[in-house]
A and B are shown apart, each in its own frame.
Chain A
Amino acid sequence: MSLKRKTLELVERREQVLQGGGETAIKKQQAMGKMTARERIISLLDDDSFQEYDLFAQHEGRDFDMDKKELPGDGVITGTGKIYGSPVCIFAQDFTVAGGSLGLMHARKITKIMDHALKLKVPLIGINDSGGARVQEGVNSLAGYGEIFYRNTLASGVIPQISVILGPCAGGAVYSPALTDFVFVVDKISKMFITGPEVIKTVLGEEISMEELGGARIHSTITGNAHFFADSEQLCFDQIKSLISYIPWNNSQKAKRLRPRNPKNSFKIDDIVPVDPKQPYDVRNVIRAIADSSEFFEIQEQFAPNIVIGYGRMNGQTVGFVANQPVYLAGVLDVDSSDKAARFIRFCDAFNIPLITLVDLPGYLPGVDQEYAGVIRHGAKVLYAYSEATVPRITVILRKAYGGGYIAMNSRHLNADIVFAWPSAEIAVMGPEGAANIIFRKEITTAEDPDKMRKIKIKEYKDKFANPYVAAAKGYVDAVIEPGETRRYLLHALEVLETKDVPKPQRKHGCIPL
């Protein structure tokens, strides 16, 4: 046989495997409104950048007549590629092959590409679309899951890990995405749960649809398991590309620097923020007034909207923004918003992304449900995450900063690098109304006209304490700045902090309250 013939044979063999689960299965996939695994990889990666690994892998099933079955690529496509020129490792489960079920070889292909990503120190992207464990392969498929989880954990904080849920992802399979840094979901396509509607019905008698139990909307609004929600797979891939542009390849690098650009003139801080701390405004517009090109890439937009997190650029360099959102619940910290912020802060810290915190909150959310849900333990995560972070940490106090909430939001006391305050800042134990009621209780209750006296005392307290100068006098605020000049101050601070180097105590790892 000549080399030419052998090459022809290769092409033939390859063609066969590239068909995946065959025409009928592909049609079924399309009928569900889903792309095939191969189409997904091609739409996500730069043109002609995909190098596939293990195309000719054969599955290991020997029981239940599985040895007679052909499963092309064993239901998963793996390889390397590029996004905006940045290298990534990728795997995509192929639902057209045995429902994308996970057998031993399937898992081996995934763990191989994970090891590769960790060795190359490049981001890992996993596209999940699988019916779950391949039951015929029994305990081997469980072993496969476990080996994936182990690598997810080892890679955590070393390379960014991205999970894309484009189909079912149920039972044990959900724990790989759960261990990764960013989870992307698509409306009506993504489904994630530990136990499905049928089991829930038989065990607990509760009836619920798959969509209501673990659809994309639920995970983006209620559970917080998902970080990005999209209406279509294509839009989801655009989001992934944007994210990749903001984050570094690994923990020893910085995110790619773009050309610095000024914010748009349409975002003016003076027009955005009302002085009265009781009035709402969209804090994301403050971020847009500060960031390059007025671009803010928000994470977990729908989940715990009382805190805003996401990326922007300052002078071309990626920064992470954490901001209280007065539009929702006056911007309080609660169980969910604490979890959301703490996780983001830790990712930024792990991947050398400086943090800018914008403060405007009345404190932690009161309520029996909050206390019972462990707001103490969850709220502590914010304190922990900020305190341990060694990346540049800058705070801007916009308006109200009361009580424990003030301390938690990267205060000077948690060793922030620089704390700015606007003249509208009110740094105090609580709002003037609450404080006056406590401090002047006697005067108010014994007064002839208690309401009038209360008003007088509230004003007295407000004049004296509802400003940034009391804290500035103690050195808790490093500089009181003109709101319109915030960007200039931040750029200077980021530049100065470029050389920040903080030694950490020797330890295996801290014990964050989880």
Chain B
Amino acid sequence: MDLNDKDFEVFSYEGTDYKTLLTRKFLQRKKYEPEDPSKIIAQIPGTIVKIMVKEGQVVNPSKCLFILEAMKMKNRVHPPVTGTIKKILIAEGQIVTKNQLLVELELPETKTKSKSKDLVSFEEPKKRKKVFGRKRDR
């Protein structure tokens, strides 16, 4: 390796500036962005099967916003915090990609504490018809 024709960069480590090359992986590393609870983002690509809310509606984490079908699974998506629906950027039947912004919330100003709750929950399977139900009903 001929070091003379390399474009060395400055790599600062604990106050010391080293002359070195940066690797492709280092340059392509994912920059950290704090999570924004007001933005509901698709965690997985799929289809919006049903939307249960309207713009302007006040919702809390127990309210399901919409159903995102992906990998043969109907995922019920809930807001992480309580807020007002500012904008719905999707329609029923729409195919969405990963990390696509789906719904924007308006958060109450004083409360910024985010409840740690899973953004996605799985729809419970429909209750099966009880075969011997009738007998018991009597």
Please report A residues at the B interface, Cβ cutoff 8 Å. 203-206, 221-222, 277-282, 284, 304-306, 326-332, 336, 362-363, 365-369, 372, 402, 430-434, 437
Q: B98 to chain A: which residues have CB within 8 Å?
A: 204-206
Given known contacts A280-B8, A282-B1, A329 and B26 CB-to-CB distance under 8 angstroms: yes
Is the CB–CB distance between A433 and B20 below 8 Å? no
Across chains A and B, which 8 residue pairs bring their CB atoms closest together, nearest first? A434-B14, A433-B15, A330-B18, A368-B32, A431-B16, A205-B45, A434-B15, A369-B29
Q: How far is the CA of A431 from the CA of B29 in the complex (A)?
A: 25
Does B13 sit at the interface, judged by CB under 8 A?
yes
Q: Can you identify 13 A-B contacts, CB atoms within 8 angstroms?
A: A204-B98, A206-B98, A278-B18, A328-B20, A328-B23, A330-B18, A332-B13, A362-B13, A363-B14, A369-B29, A369-B30, A433-B16, A434-B13
Distance of A284 Cα from B24 Cα, bound (Å): 20
When A280-B20, A369-B30 are in contact, do A330 and B14 touch as well, CB less than 8 Å? no
Please name all residues of chain B whose beta carbon is closer than 8 Å to the beta carbon of A305 when the two chains form the complex. 23
Complex CA gap A483/B21 in Å reads 25
Find chain B residues with CB under 8 A from A328 CB: 20-23
The SS class assigned to the B binding surface is loop
Say yes or no: A306-B13 contact (C-beta < 8 A), given A280-B3, A281-B3, A327-B3. Answer: no
Distance between Cα atoms of A349 and B133 in the complex (Å):
67
> In the complex, are the beta carbons of B18 and A362 less than 8 A apart?
yes
A434: chain B residues at CB < 8 Å are: 13-16
Which A residues are in CB contact (< 8 Å) with B71? 203
B20 and A329 contact, CB distance less than 8 A: yes
**Residues on B with beta carbons closer than 8 Å to the beta carbon of A363:** 13-14
B54 CB-CB contact with A under 8 Å: no
Q: Which of B19, B23, B71, B95 has the most C-beta atoms of chain A within 10 angstroms of its own C-beta?
A: B23
Q: Which residues of A contact B3 (CB under 8 A)?
A: 280-282, 327
Q: Within 8 Å CB of A282, what residues of B?
A: 1, 3
Q: Taking the nearest CB of chain A, how far is it from the CB of B7, in angstroms?
A: 12
Q: Mark B74-99, 1 if CB is under 8 A from A, else 0.
A: 00000000000000000000010110
Contacts of A284 in B (CB 8 A): 1
Q: Is the CB of A330 within 8 A of B15?
A: no
Once the chains bind, are A278 and B25 in contact (CB under 8 Å)? Answer: no
Closest chain-A Cβ to B44's Cβ sits at a distance in Å of: 8
Chain B residue with the shortest CB-CB distance to A361: B13
CA–CA, A306 and B6, complex, Å: 15
Which residue numbers of B lie inside 8 Å of A, CB to CB?
1, 3, 6, 8, 11, 13-26, 29-32, 44-45, 71, 95, 97-98
- CB B23 to nearest CB in A, in angstroms, measures 6
Tell me which residues across on chain B come within 8 A of A433, comparing CB atoms.
Answer: 14-16
Given contacts A205-B45, A222-B25, A327-B1, contact A437 B15 (CB under 8 A): yes
Q: How far is the CA of A331 from the CA of B26 in the complex (A)?
A: 13
Given contacts A280-B8, A282-B1, A326-B20, 5 further A-B contacts (CB under 8 A): A327-B21, A330-B11, A363-B13, A369-B31, A433-B16
Cross-chain contact A280 with B13 (CB below 8 angstroms): no
Report the bound CA distance from A330 to B22 in whole Å: 9
Which residue on chain B has the smallest CB distance to residue A204?
B45
Question: Which residues of A sit under 8 angstroms from B24, Cβ to Cβ?
Answer: 221-222
Query: Pick the contact of A280 from B21, B31, B95 — CB < 8 Å?
Result: B21
Which residues of A sit under 8 angstroms from B1, Cβ to Cβ? 282, 284, 327
**With A330-B11, A368-B32, A369-B30 as contacts: A278 and B23 at CB distance below 8 Å:** no
State the CA gap A402–B24 with chains docked (Å): 25
Q: Are B17 and A278 in contact (CB under 8 A)?
A: yes
Across the interface, do A430 and B14 meet the contact criterion of CB distance under 8 Å? yes
C-alpha spacing A366/B29, complex, angstroms = 12
Q: A222, A284, A327, A372 — which one has the most chain B CB atoms within 10 A of its CB?
A: A327
- Smallest CB gap from B20: residue in A: A330
Known A-B contacts A203-B71, A434-B16; the reply to A306 vs B23 at CB < 8 A is: yes
